[in-house]
């Protein structure tokens, strides 16, 4: 690729990445952090397979699947917001960002219902190693959802192409982590 | 600003992501009332669908298709590595548990 064709000239090796290069550094580091947790989960599962299998039965994979569909649709909304703001359709971009935030809140509500059901059944992070991972990984991910919602609100207020593109990249990273988390915790049994 | 995917490509990708999620859920046999270990082909299908979803999300939603092959390879390599970790842990637990 010629230097003048690079999306971010002057950023060294990061100059070939689209959008805000620092967001890609964050995405890479978050993927590595979650991969390390997944490796720990895998090792613990091998050490206590029967316990993990019995505990996994207590989860509701349909709720997890519903949340996957909600989050991926929210991702579409922020991607459409980027398209709109780059075409200088600010009002439309804000509408898409509003829809993305509404779906992000819905994700949180579904997650809250799921947590409430677990706590009502006296299942807490201290119950066993599996639920330690379940609460730890999903709560860590949920903290990213909350931060992402704050970012989306911020760029809805301060709407520019660069701002929306940066917040959208963070939101897609939240999608990406959930895509990997869902089969690990809910589906593979 | 790099060229964006375009509305049509985004909608097609979204439809694919929805379909792949539903395929994963069906492969996991969520319709069955009783809890049973999955056949290995079901687990493989779930992981393949997950990998394809991650690839689509990176290339289209995150627009990584506009980057150099080295960066595309780096991110896809990390996704494959993560899926291998998940698959490896699952398989070892299945075969030894």
Q: Would B23 be classed as within a structural domain?
A: yes
Question: Taking CB atoms and an 8 Å limit, are B93 and A46 in contact across chains?
Answer: yes
Ramachandran quadrant class, A122 (left: phi over 0; alpha: psi -120 to 50; beta: rest) = left
Give the C-alpha separation, A30 to A180, whole Å: 12
**For A50, which of B7, B10, B97 is closest by C-beta distance?**
B97
ipTM of this complex: 0.93
Q: Would B20 be classed as within a structural domain?
A: yes
Distance from CA of B68 to the nearest CA of A (A): 6
Chain segment B84-93, per-residue pLDDT in tens = 999 999 999 9
- The per-residue pLDDT for A16 is 84
**Residue-range definition of the domain harbouring residue B28:** 7-96
Q: Could you tell me the two tokens for B68?
A: 């150099």
Chain segment A115-147, per-residue pLDDT in tens = 999 999 999 999 999 999 999 999 999 999 999
Rounded mean pLDDT of A157-182?
Answer: 96
Report the domain count for chain B.
1
Q: Would B11 be classed as within a structural domain?
A: yes
User: DSSP letter at B5?
Assistant: -
* C-alpha radius of gyration, chain A, whole number: 19
Give the C-alpha separation, B88 to B86, whole Å: 6
Q: Residue A5's pLDDT band (boundaries 50, 70, 90)? A: confident
- The per-residue pLDDT for B31 is 65
A3 has a pLDDT exceeding 70: no
Give the C-alpha separation, A184 to B57, whole Å: 18
Q: Quick one: CATH architecture of A20-187?
A: Up-down Bundle (1.20)
Chain segment A88-98, per-residue pLDDT in tens = 999 999 999 99
Chain segment A56-105, per-residue pLDDT in tens = 999 999 999 999 999 999 999 999 999 999 999 999 999 999 999 999 99
Evaluate whether A83 touches B6 at the Cβ level (below 8 Å).
yes
- The per-residue pLDDT for A2 is 46
**Residue A43 CB neighbours (<10 A):** 14
Q: Could you tell me the two tokens for A107?
A: 């994700």
Phi, psi of A58 (to 5 degrees): -80, -15
Chain segment A6-56, per-residue pLDDT in tens = 788 888 888 888 888 999 999 999 999 999 999 999 999 999 999 999 999
Residues A173, A174, A179, A181: what is their CA dihedral angle, to the nearest 10 degrees?
A: 120
Q: Which residue of A has its CA nearest to B28?
A: A187
Question: Taking CB atoms and an 8 Å limit, are B25 and A61 in contact across chains?
Answer: yes
Q: Could you tell me the two tokens for B54?
A: 């991650």
Question: Taking CB atoms and an 8 Å limit, are B1 and A7 in contact across chains?
Answer: yes
Q: Could you tell me the two tokens for A19?
A: 């959008």
Chain segment B7-66, per-residue pLDDT in tens = 999 999 999 999 999 999 998 877 666 678 889 999 999 999 999 999 999 999 999 998
Rounded mean pLDDT of A172-187?
Answer: 96
Question: Taking CB atoms and an 8 Å limit, are B37 and A72 in contact across chains?
Answer: no
Q: Would B1 be classed as within a structural domain?
A: no
> Using CA of residue A91, residue A97, residue A103, residue A106, what is the dihedral sign?
negative
- The per-residue pLDDT for A1 is 44
Q: Indicate the domain borders of chain A.
A: 20-187
Q: Would B2 be classed as within a structural domain?
A: no
Evaluate whether A125 touches A136 at the Cβ level (below 8 Å).
yes
3-state secondary structure of B35: coil
3-state secondary structure of B75: helix
Q: Could you tell me the two tokens for B3?
A: 């060229």
């Amino acid at each position: 690729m010629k230097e003048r064709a690079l999306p971010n000239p002057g950023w060294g090796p990061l100059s070939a990445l689209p959008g805000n290069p620092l967001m890609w550094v964050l995405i890479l580091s978050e993927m590595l952090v979650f991969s390390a947790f997944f490796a720990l989960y895998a090792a613990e599962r091998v050490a206590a397979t029967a316990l993990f299998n019995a505990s996994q039965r207590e989860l509701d994979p349909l709720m997890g699947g519903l949340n996957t569909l909600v989050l991926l649709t929210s991702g579409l909304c922020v991607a459409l917001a980027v398209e709109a703001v780059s075409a200088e359709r600010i009002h439309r971009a804000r509408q898409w960002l509003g829809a993305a935030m509404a779906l992000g809140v819905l994700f949180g509500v579904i997650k809250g219902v799921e947590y409430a059901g677990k706590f009502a059944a006296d299942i807490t992070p201290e119950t066993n190693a599996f639920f330690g991972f379940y609460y730890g990984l999903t709560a860590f991910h949920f903290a990213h959802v909350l931060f992402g919602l704050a970012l989306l609100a911020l760029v809805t207020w301060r709407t520019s192409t660069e701002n929306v593109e940066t917040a959208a990249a963070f939101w897609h990273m939240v999608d990406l982590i959930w895509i990997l988390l869902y089969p690990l915790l809910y589906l593979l049994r | 600003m790099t060229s964006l995917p375009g509305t049509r490509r985004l909608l097609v990708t979204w439809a694919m992501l929805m379909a792949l999620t539903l395929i994963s859920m069906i492969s996991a046999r969520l319709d069955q009332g009783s809890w049973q270990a999955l056949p290995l082909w079901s687990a493989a299908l779930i992981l393949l669908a997950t990998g394809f979803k991650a690839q689509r999300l990176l290339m289209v939603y995150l627009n990584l298709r506009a980057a150099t092959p080295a960066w595309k390879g780096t991110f896809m390599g990390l996704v494959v590595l993560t899926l291998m970790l998940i698959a490896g842990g699952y398989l070892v637990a299945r075969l030894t548990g």
